[in-house]
Structure 1
Amino acid sequence: MAEPDRRTANGVREGWREGWPDEGGARRVLWGLRAYGFIVAMWVRSTMAYRTSFVIMLVVSFATTFLDFAAIVIMFSHVKELGGFSLPEVAFLYGTSNVAFGLADLLLGQAERIGRRVRDGTLDVLLTRPVPVLSQVAADRFALRRLGRICQGGLVLGWSLVRLDLDWSVGKVLLTVSMVLCGGAIFGCVFVLGGAFQFWAQDATEVQSAFTYGGTTMLQYPPTVFAEDLVRGVTFVVPLAFVNWLPALRVLGRDDPLGLPGWVDFAAPAVALLCCAVTGLAWRAGLRAYRSTGS
């Protein structure tokens, strides 16, 4: 018996075809990841067709992000400490923030383009394909040149680890790795949440950038240079402090300016999982609220 032509309220056919996995199950998630990989591979092959152009763009991306750290170095040529933090300590914050953000920007940064698709109606095309919309949006025009930010942040992080005089332990090593991975997940959630918000706002890219690009710039500096209300906001409202501030204070042996319990420094994985759950609900709500252009 042929499968019925199911349509949404706005007339767009849902992506139901032979081989479409069960909704809500692990198979759907795996299928979404597989489809994401296929689309990414396509864009990588396209990028590698022009290797010289790719290398130039990679170098430009590396150099552009390096200017941010150059500004910090120039700042330290006039002062010995910034908010009580030395240059290697600030470099540690800078490196963890940029690597985490770079991973999120590379893997999910295209979610900020969803507003344009909503406005011009091209989102309808994505809805007709038997692939999760988020996989298509995130992998669309996959920009391999964004590896430049990750490489630059990784070099600064490596330099800071060499210069820091710390008593390293297995716990501190795991906490540092967790900062990069969980921080990337948190930033990725912010990208997707911003994209979900654009289903209603349609043009909120600048608002989203304030929390993504603005957030990573803020996390490059010690929390002690900011007002306590701002630190509370990025801890309890938009949990960017869990990207690197709170765990980094534990690694560096610094006191928490908010006086939070010690276990909070290890809460980044739980916060990342909670953010993923909230993001998934918000994204599904945004898709349900979408109204086609009718074209």
Structure 2
Amino acid sequence: MGSIPLFFRLVGASIGGQARYPASALMTTVGQFLGTGIEAVAVWALFHRFGDVQGWRIGEVALFYGLVNCMFALADALGRGFDVLGTEFLRTGAFDRLLLRPRPLSLQLMGNDFRISRLGRLLQGLAMIAFATQQMGIAWTPGAVAIALLAVAGGVALFLGILVLQGTLAFWTVESLEIANVLTYGGVQAAQYPLALYARWFRRVLTFIVPLACVAYYPVLAILGKADPLGAPAWVGLVSPLAGGVFLAAAFGVWRIGLRHYASTGS
């Protein structure tokens, strides 16, 4: 069996295992939907009180919110194996079993635990995109759809890269979850608002170090047909999502370095 069919076989087995407990799967999915829904209510309350924030309206911010949550939901579903690498694989010695299998290690980790519950965050993101479309009258032309899909692909690659880096840290620290949360959940929070609202130093971090602006801010401007208050040309939103793929490639480069430093539990 090739790598791609094997990946889908692993994902199917993971989903099938969760489906044996449908009430639990449904409750966790609804929990994810409601949890992100509270964040959406907070965004609505902010704009309901002040009307706009530095000229940005609620429909525009809702599009940021929706796309970023769709990105993270998909990446979080794919990257669960890296998320729990330290506690479920390295500490127990189960990682050795993965190394012995003649299949790509990253594929095994991504297919290990594909969580159904992430569908809740994905649905919340899609609902916010629908809300933004209604508020702003967005015309989803083939070009706009293509930009959105490219942005989501770049965002999934970026967040997956962060999870890969988290897993890499576990080779030295075992417990690395809280450190990585600064970039995962903190990155989601930061990317939900326009880059122009932040201080210059933070804008540089979100553009050149962890390129969240490249997968969210600039593509959303292109979809909205809105000029960048910071002066970036319009074509940037068409190519900037590629930064997510570059970040993922760099993350896997660091992953290979960490893998060379792995020492078995000896058990």
> Could you state the TM-score of these two structures normalised by the residue count of structure 2?
0.91
Q: Which one of 248, 260, 267 corresponds to residue 232 of structure 2?
A: 260
2:235 alignment partner, SS class: helix
1:256: Cα distance to partner?
3.1
Contact 2:219 2:241 (C-alpha < 8 Å) held by counterparts: no
Give the structure with higher Rg (CA).
1
Aligned to 2:180: 208
SS at match of 2:184: helix
Write the distance in 2 (CA, Å) between the matches of 1:39 and 1:169: 36
**Residue 5 (structure 2) aligns with:** 34
Q: CA RMSD in A?
A: 2.0
Contact 1:112 1:208 in 2 (8 A): no
Q: Structure 1, residues 113-142: CA drift from partner, whole Å, max 9, x if none?
A: 112222332212221222322222222232
Residue deviations 1:82-121, cap 9 Å, x none? Answer: 2321111110110011011111111123311112222332
1:111 aligns with 2:82: yes
Alignment of 1:143-292 (within 5 A): 143-166=115-138, 169-292=141-264
**Alignment partner, residue 92 of structure 1:** 63
**What residue identity is the alignment partner of 2:78?**
L
Match of residue 82, structure 1, among 50, 53, 56 = 53
The aligned length equals 266
**CA distance in structure 2 between the aligned counterparts of 1:168 and 1:57, rounded to whole angstroms:** 32
Residues 214-263 of structure 1: per-residue CA shift (max 9 Å, x gap): 10111111222211110111101111111211111222233435433443
What secondary structure is seen at the aligned counterpart in 2 of 1:77?
A: helix
User: Is the contact between residue 191 and residue 208 of structure 1 (CA under 8 Å) also seen in structure 2?
Assistant: yes
Structure 2 contact 79–110 (Cα < 8 Å) conserved = yes
Q: Could you tell me whether the CA contact under 8 Å between 1:223 and 1:257 is conserved in 2?
A: no
Deviation, structure 1 residue 68: 0.5
**Cα distance in 2, alignment partners of residues 164 and 191 from structure 1:** 33
Higher mean displacement: 236-245 or 51-60? 51-60
Contact 1:178 1:268 in 2 (8 A): no
Separation in 1, partners of 2:64, 2:100:
43
- Write out aligned runs for 1:21-60 (5 A): 30-31=2-3, 33-60=4-31
Other structure's SS at 2:91 match: helix
Whole-angstrom distance in 2 between the partners of 1:258 and 1:282: 32
Cα distance, 1:281 vs structure 2: 1.8
CA distance in 2, matches of 1:284, 1:141: 22
Measure how far apart 1:194 and its partner are: 2.0
* Structure-2 residue corresponding to 1:23: none
Q: Which residue number corresponds to residue 69 of structure 1?
A: 40
Which digits, 9 at most, give the CA deviation of each residue in 1:51-91, with x for residues without a partner? 22222221111111111101111112211002321111110
In structure 1, runs of 5+ residues without a counterpart are 1-18, 20-29
List gaps (5 residues or longer) in structure 2: none
| SS state at 1:254 partner | coil
Q: Give the whole-Å Cα distance in 2 for the aligned partners of 1:92 and 1:269.
A: 16
| Aligned counterparts of 1:114 and 1:257: Cα–Cα separation in 2 | 41
Q: Aligned partners of 1:93 and 1:269: how far apart in 2?
A: 14
Q: TM-score, normalised by structure 1?
A: 0.83
Matched-pair contact (CA < 8 Å) for 1:228–1:258 = no
Take 1:150 and 1:34, find their aligned partners in 2: how far apart are those partners?
Answer: 24
Is residue 102 from structure 1 mapped to residue 73 from structure 2 by the alignment? yes
What percent identity do the matched residue pairs reach? 33
Higher alpha-carbon deviation: 44-53 or 90-99: 44-53
Shift of 1:198: 2.2
